[in-house]
Structure formats: C-alpha cells, structure tokens
C-alpha cells in the first residue's frame, strides 16, 4: 500500500490516515488508489468492524491536488470514484476525524463518511466556484439532503468556509472535540460502538445510506438485501445466546 495512506488496526477499529501533509493531504491518483485499497480492506476483513479516517499534519484534506490535475491526473478510481471513496464508501460505518481544513474534496470526503468528529477549530467549505470549478464529489447533492436547501445553496454559491461549530449546529458534525483531540475522540466513539453487533452495524449503515434511493413502498423490500447478512450471521446467534446467558457477546464480524 502507498505511504500516501497509512492504516493501523486498533482492535476492531481500522484507522486510515491521509499522509500527504506537505500537500495539505490533497489527493492525486496514487492517493485515491491507496484510499480505495484501505476501504477494500475494511470491507473484506471480518475482524474490522468500524473505520476512522483522519489526516496527518493537523489537517484533514484540502481536496484535489490541483498540480496533479493540471498534469491531467485524476484523483479517482473506476470502482469507488473520487478519492477512491466518494461513490462507493465502505459498507461498514466510517467516522471522519477532522482537524484543520476539510475543504473542497476534503469536505466531500467527510460527507462520504457516516459520522463526523471535528475539532472546534476545523474549517469546512466548498470553494470550487472561486476557481470556476464544480464540486463533483457529492457535496452538491449530499448537503441538501442533510441541511436546509437555502443554506446548502449559500455554501455552494459563496465558496465560504465555516468552522466546525457552525456545521455542528446544522447537524453535519456530530461531535466537537478540542483542537488536536478529534482522532482520540473518534476512536473512543468507535470503541463505544463496538458493544453492538458488527454485522448489524454494517446493515444499519447500508440501509440508511441507500434509503434515499427508495420509495417508501420499495424500502420494505430493499432493506432486506442488506439486513439478510446480519440476520443470517453467526453474530446474530451469538447475540441471542449471550442475552439468554446474561453475558457480553463475543462478536466475530460474520
């Protein structure tokens, strides 16, 4: 795996670090391929239940590497799309741990995650319009589903940056952390979620993620596509057995 993306297993939590601090963790083609590989690992390994993604050097990501883009290089992959992540995030829950700037594609990467922990001093925004570029990493359609239309429109048309507390009030950021503590708080939150069944966590994430694609009528059928893995898993049997025996379950992720 490229040294542009570092990974670490902390028990059942998979920590993914964007490691281009000299470029403010901007994404080129190699970075996108490496992040896709990390996402594939999270999805493939039963022992990994939750992912946490963060950036090295005190910033999350400044977005696309414009120097690479000028050379005709795209920070995207054919399978998972932009940054090797946007179009097909992992099926397991991922928490973004944001310090510094998460702007442009960096903001869209955070929006591709399921939960966001951000330092109070972090800044978010979609500045693409300032350069006559269109934000095509999902921000323009994900934001209006999560915050009021006119606020999403203001963010998109102004290109303005706002701090984490602003986005926390809007419900985009789940939890605020002290500066330098976003990763620690995100890992602690991930550890707290591990009391829950991992296959049920993944199924719940996928149903919510895909729910906007379904009509209410279709949702009753479509949700079973994702629930089936959890309902037929060893973990479901273990969860029921542990409840009956009044003990903590031992999850296997399968």
Dist. CA 216–CA 181, nearest whole Å: 40
Say how many CA atoms lie within 13 Å of 158 toward its Cβ: 11
Is 128 annotated as catalytic? Answer: yes
Is 213 annotated as catalytic? Answer: no
Q: Enter the DSSP assignment of 95.
A: E
Say how many CA atoms lie within 13 Å of 71 toward its Cβ: 9
In angstroms, the Cα distances linking 252 to 9, 16, 54, 138, 228 are 15, 21, 26, 33, 17
Classify residue 138 as left (phi > 0), alpha (psi -120 to 50) or beta: left
| Catalytic annotation, pick one of 108, 154, 179, 245 | 108
| Catalytic annotation, pick one of 99, 128, 154, 206 | 128
How many C-beta neighbours within 10 Å does residue 252 have?
15
In terms of Cα–Cα distance, which of 161, 164, 95, 163 is closest to 127? 161
How many C-beta neighbours within 10 Å does residue 228 have?
11
Dist. CA 58–CA 72, nearest whole Å: 28
Residues with a catalytic annotation lie at 108, 128
């Amino acid at each position: 795996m490229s040294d542009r993306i570092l990974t670490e297993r902390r028990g059942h939590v998979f920590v993914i670090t964007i490691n281009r601090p000299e470029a403010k963790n901007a994404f080129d083609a190699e970075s996108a391929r490496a992040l896709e590989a990390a996402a594939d690992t999270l999805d493939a390994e039963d022992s990994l239940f939750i992912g946490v993604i963060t950036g090295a050097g005190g910033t999350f990501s400044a977005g696309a590497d414009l120097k690479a883009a000028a050379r005709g290089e795209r920070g995207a992959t054919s399978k998972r799309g932009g940054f090797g992540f946007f179009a097909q995030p992992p099926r397991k829950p991922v928490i973004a741990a944001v310090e510094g700037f998460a702007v442009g594609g960096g903001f869209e990467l955070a929006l591709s995650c399921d939960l966001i922990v951000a330092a109070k001093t972090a800044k978010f925004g979609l500045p693409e319009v300032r350069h006559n570029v269109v934000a095509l990493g999902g921000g323009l359609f994900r934001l209006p589903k999560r915050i009021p239309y006119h606020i999403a429109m203001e963010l998109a048309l102004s290109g303005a940056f706002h701090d984490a507390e602003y986005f926390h009030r809007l419900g985009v950021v789940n939890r605020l952390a002290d500066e330098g503590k976003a990763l620690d708080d995100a890992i602690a939150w991930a550890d707290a979620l591990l009391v829950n069944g991992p296959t049920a966590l993944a199924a719940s994430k996928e149903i919510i993620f895909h729910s906007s694609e379904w009509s209410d009528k279709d949702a009753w059928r479509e949700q079973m596509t994702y629930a089936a893995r959890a309902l037929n898993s060893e973990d479901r049997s273990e969860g029921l057995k542990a409840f009956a025996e009044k003990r903590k379950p031992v999850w296997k992720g399968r």
